[in-house]
Amino acid sequence: MAHDALLRVEGLTVDFQTSRGLARAVDDVSFSIKRGETLALAGETGCGKSVTARSILRLVPQPPGIYSAGSIYFQGIEESEPLDVLEASEQQVRALRGDRIAMVFQDPSKALNPALTIGRQLGEVFAEHREASVFESAGLGSRSRGASRYLRHRGGLVRRTAYRFTHPSATKRLTEALDERVLQALADTGVPNPRKVMTSYPHELSGGMKQRVMIAQALACDPDLLIADEPTTALDVTIQARILDLLSELQERKGTAILYITHDLSLVRQIADRLAVMYAGRIAEIGDCRDLLSAPLHPYTQGLMNAIPRAETKRGELAAIPGTVPVLIDAPRQCHFVSRCAWAGKACTTHIPGESHPLPDRLVSCLRFESAAAVGAAPGDMPQQYASAEVTT
């Protein structure tokens, strides 16, 4: 299993320096994503799901962020050896970003540059990662530094303008080759009238359209992995449904693996093959999406599922999880869910639960699935053992 994993996150731990001490946002998180599969990473605000996603591209600013432990192995198709993103050089990570691993952010109006046209922003991706093939389709065999600077909008206005006047046909062909690719990328994501969209600025587009542009930008280089960080949270449900349709259609066509970050468990069923639930920086449960949603085992996942309002639940009797998420600054060594858990025993306040596999293809980190001997606690302190008969929902 390990050899066909596209991405392996092992024991990732991310701390943040705060004025009150170190806050552990991500604590010993491990999971893997296979080629072409969709893993949903679900959890509530502040559970560390976005930090985990950003760590994969090493986008967490340091300081205040600190990668305290763990590694993230990415195995691209071309590379023979998996690359540890956290250890790689800045150059290697830059080559990865937007090319092999792309990201779609939550708020498209913040993620797009308001001062550049859509065509220019999308063109940047190709100029950065696909320069050689743009030159090829423009019919320019050898690429000169001037042409390269022109394509990448580098080197200052004077030099670029000078190049344009001295090489009029080359610049024209380059621009055409680049536009061609941008148009194709936009048309792939179902943007109507791509030629018009290309010349517009972000503020001229609707939210759903902006998110389509973001997806076009992310998928421009056919990445192996797409990280979608709550891509539909800012959108209305009818638009959300169309964006989800688009993502699954593109995934089918291009075979991209998707890491889908969301706080909405009801959305997960539509898109994901596997589901990982996070709570307070740790993984609570990982498993096959449908199995997990029909029979959640971790007390937190169970609580989360029951808290979703539906028509069948009698009004006023939603099973809310009592209490609030604990503060993670200098948190004690214990299960973070203990204060809100109906099953909690004494051992839960002194031990961090390890990984247990109560079902094939299911990982749960809860002491209810571990034996007292393995944990090293007195049997009386353990929470009530899980009985397979009690499958909720």
Partner 1 sequence: MTISDDVHVPGAVASRRSLITLRDVAVHYPVKEGVLQRVTSHVKAVDGVSLTIPRGSTVGLVGESGCGKTTLGKVIAGLESPTSGDLWFDLDPSDAEDVDRLRGRDPKSMSGEDREAWQRLQGQHRLGSMSREFQRRYRRNCQVVFQDAFSSLNPRQLVRDIVGRPLRVYNEASGENLNQQVLELLERVGLGPQHLLRYPHQFSGGQRQRISIARALALNPEFIILDEPTSALDVSVQAQILNLLVSLQHEFELTYLFITHDLGVVEHMSDEIAVMYLGRLVEQGPTREVFDNPFHPYTEVLRDSNPSLTGDSVADGHRRLTGSVPNPIDPPTGCRLHPRCPVAVSTCGWRVDDVLEQLEVSSPASFEGIEAVVRSSEFSALIRLTDDDASRAMAEEVTDLRGTLGNVEIDVRREGKELRVNLPEVDDITLEVIEPGRMSACVHAQSGNWWNN
Q: Could you list the residues that contact partner 1 (CB under 8 A)?
A: 44-45, 192-193, 195-196, 206, 208-209, 236-242, 244-245, 248, 263-267, 269-270, 293, 303-311, 313, 315-322, 324
Query: At closest approach, how far in Å is the CB of 46 from partner 1?
Result: 9
Query: At closest approach, how far in Å is the CB of 233 from partner 1?
Result: 10
Strands 225-229 and 101-104: parallel
Reading phi first (left if > 0) and then psi (alpha if -120 to 50, else beta), residue 330 is in: left
Between the alpha carbon of residue 84 and those of residues 10, 55, 96, 305, 315, the distances in Å are 10, 11, 11, 35, 50
Nearer to partner 1 by Cβ, of 68 and 306: the residue is 306
Q: Residue type for 74, please?
A: F
Nearer to partner 1 by Cβ, of 100 and 298: the residue is 298
Query: At closest approach, how far in Å is the CB of 193 from partner 1?
Result: 6
Query: At closest approach, how far in Å is the CB of 238 from partner 1?
Result: 5
Nearer to partner 1 by Cβ, of 78 and 312: the residue is 312
Nearer to partner 1 by Cβ, of 120 and 290: the residue is 290
Query: At closest approach, how far in Å is the CB of 179 from partner 1?
Result: 16
Answer yes or no: are the C-beta atoms of 224 and 4 closer than 8 Å. no
Residue with tokens 């042409």: 147
Residue with tokens 């094939």: 360
Half-sphere exposure in the Cβ direction for 252 (13 Å, CA): 7
Nearer to partner 1 by Cβ, of 275 and 375: the residue is 275
Query: At closest approach, how far in Å is the CB of 257 from partner 1?
Result: 19
Nearer to partner 1 by Cβ, of 23 and 375: the residue is 23
Q: Which residues contact 179 (CB under 8 A, 6 or more apart)?
A: 119, 123, 198
> Residues 355, 358, 364, 369: is their CA dihedral positive or negative?
negative
